[in-house]
A and B are shown apart, each in its own frame.
Chain A
Amino acid sequence: MFWNQATETIDRGSLGALQLKRLQETVARVAGAVPFYRQAFTERGLTPAHIKSLSDARHLPFTTSADLRATYPTGLLAVPIDETLRLHTSSGTTGKPKALFFSARDVANAAELCARCFVMTGMTKKDIFQNMMTYGLFTGALVTHYGAEKLGCLVIPAGPGNSEKQLLLMQDFRSTTIHITPSYALYFATFLEKKGVDPRRDLAIRRAFVGAEPYTEETRCKIEQALGVRVFNSYGLSEMNGPGVAFECEHQHGMHLWEDNYLMEIVNPKTGEPLPDGQTGELVLTTLYREAMPLLRYRTRDITSIIAEPCACGRTHRRIDRITGRADDMLIVRGVNIYPQQIERVLMSLPAVGRNYQILLDGLDDMTVNVELAEAGFDGHVEHLTKLQADITDRLRAEILTKPKVHLVPPGTLPVSEGKAQRVIDRRSL
């Protein structure tokens, strides 16, 4: 099933031509309208006429998260502010937020991209969409809300949290599709268990769009088993409109990234040098069809690789692999580079381990991993807990090459998150 078959299955040649045309238009527009880019072009001796092929994109300047903060609030706008229709922000953990503007066409286009994503998973207008993401300045919920409406679905703007109410909505309106963060999905599964609700028997949910935080294949399996849904991985970031940038099709193997709207590159996160398809590095995206706030070569900090092989679904837009981490999330512990996802992968592969964990960094360089036991993992014997703890420690050491302290804790005792999870707490006094 396709939402926009012509565009989604466009031949690679025509797609490249469309990308080049849109790239040239974008570069010409920002050179004229955005002083930040005009200055960057001048410094490089670059004019729009230099962009003759897609590979010339590598001469364009990068845009970083820091640039968005430095030009906050309106420095990267390419249209007068009264031409804009909506503002979203992306919160940083420190300092100013990043302001993202949408024109009327941008709002409609973001919805179009989401509609493509949803139909790609088999969703139709008959589906009932319970949106359990945060509404508001965060793009996660509003952008998908418009996409599902465009598709003609009944949309339940539930927002995150308040699990009692979520359950009531699911029961009363027979929601078939949910949109949720992985951490909330795991928490919600535990909540249903406590309530004695079997989602396969008692609920109509069959599909979950899961994103906003990187998660592992093991976590996908846990969510699928616990909620009785198929989990489709969703990739987006506020700087690129939020959700709808890339999404899994029914084959659930990598996420098709809409190349008519985004030019993607993978670069070495340290040097910025472009890497060939298949190599792992930082995803860099250029908006090709954004009106209010085009961004050139935005450094997403997300680590992935391009899957260039054709997909059985027939879409010609290349896929990106599951995000294995954010360049910014990388921890350096005792000189070793560690992504939190490596730890998650180990934990979620063990049946006796529950659904919540936390990584604490303390003192000079001490790593403690607090791990919730699965409800069924307790048989009353402290010896078995000790053994499991030692087993987790060994497996983690094999994965991250440093030995963390592992603390097993009873299920339900770690702080829960109904929005974005805070898995890492860094209190090091380095």
Chain B
Amino acid sequence: MHPVKLIAVFAENQLGQMARITKKLADIHANIRWVTIVTSETLGVIKFLVDKPDLAYESLHAKGYTVSYIEILAIAVEDKPGGLNAVAECLARNNINVENASGFVSDNQAVLLIEVANAAAARATLANQSLRLLSEEEIFNL
């Protein structure tokens, strides 16, 4: 099971930047499953979940972009009231501090993507819990 990772791009906040970067991803036929842009004053980081992370990394890097992987946890959430709460309770019980989080729903599957300080350790901790962690393959096949 491959852990899920995001591609993060450090990009200057300028007109057309998003268009240029997504064009590179389109050129390699990478399918973007999820995206977020984080800005802080003049700093901007675009994070993608794509189905070809390594190819996307290489291709952006070759074009001179500053790229990094971010390993994350993709947690399956029941698509019903209380679904997210059950996950949050479990993370809290296990002392897992969430640095960034976002979620999406695909068909009837809700997914919570979380960034934590140490993804590998968090994954090990959660292995014995009732939560289901999605692999890279599962995410792309949703």
Contacts and interface: CB of A to CB of B under 8 A. Distances in A.
A410 B20 CA distance: 15
A386 B10 CA distance: 12
B30 interface: no
Given A380-B45, A407-B42, A408-B43, A385 B66 contact: no
Interface string B33-74: 000001111111101000000000000000011111110000
A270 interface: no
Contacts of A382: 38-40, 43-45
Given A378-B66, A382-B38, A373 B45 contact: no
B47 A380 contact: yes
Given A381-B45, A382-B38, A410 B65 contact: yes
Contacts of A386: 40-41, 43
Given A380-B6, A380-B8, A389 B43 contact: yes
A412 B45 contact: no
A413 interface: yes
Indicate the size class of the contact surface on chain A.
10 to 19
A408 B43 CA distance: 7
A192 interface: no
B137 interface: no
Contacts of B65: 410
A25 interface: no
A381 B69 CA distance: 10
B69 A385 contact: no
Interface in A379-398: 379-383, 385-386, 389
B33 to A, nearest CB: 17
Classify the interface of chain B: helix, strand, loop or mixed.
strand
- Interface-central residue, A375, A412, A413, by most chain B CB under 10 Å: A413
Contacts of B64: 412
A409 interface: yes
A378 B66 CA distance: 7
B84 interface: no
A385 B10 contact: yes
A307 B90 CA distance: 67
Given A380-B69, A411-B66, A412-B64, A373 B10 contact: yes
Nearest to A413: B12
Interface string B83-124: 000000000000000010000000000000001000000000
B11 interface: yes
A262 B57 CA distance: 56
A288 B42 CA distance: 54
A385 B10 CA distance: 9
Given A407-B42, A410-B12, A381 B70 contact: yes
A381 B12 CA distance: 14
A370 B46 CA distance: 20
Contacts of A407: 42
Nearest to B45: A382
A407 B40 CA distance: 11
A382 to B, nearest CB: 4
A278 to B, nearest CB: 44
Interface in A347-379: 373, 375, 378-379
Contacts of B115: 381
- Interface-central residue, B6, B10, B68, B99, by most chain A CB under 10 Å: B10
Contacts of A383: 40, 99
A385 B70 CA distance: 14
A22 B5 CA distance: 73
A380 B70 contact: yes
Nearest to A406: B42
A379 B10 CA distance: 9
A411 B11 CA distance: 10
A411 B67 CA distance: 11
- Interface-central residue, A382, A411, A413, by most chain B CB under 10 Å: A382
A383 to B, nearest CB: 8
A64 to B, nearest CB: 42
A380 B47 CA distance: 8
A379 B45 CA distance: 10
B15 to A, nearest CB: 15
B7 to A, nearest CB: 8
Given A375-B66, A382-B43, A382-B45, 16 more contacts: A378-B68, A380-B6, A380-B8, A380-B47, A380-B68, A380-B69, A381-B115, A382-B38, A382-B44, A383-B40, A385-B10, A385-B40, A386-B40, A389-B43, A410-B65, A410-B66
Interface of A: 373, 375, 378-383, 385-386, 389, 407-413
5 contacts: A378-B10, A380-B47, A381-B99, A386-B41, A410-B66
Interface of B: 6, 8, 10-12, 38-45, 47, 64-70, 99, 115
Closest 4 CB pairs of A and B: A380-B8, A380-B68, A380-B70, A410-B66
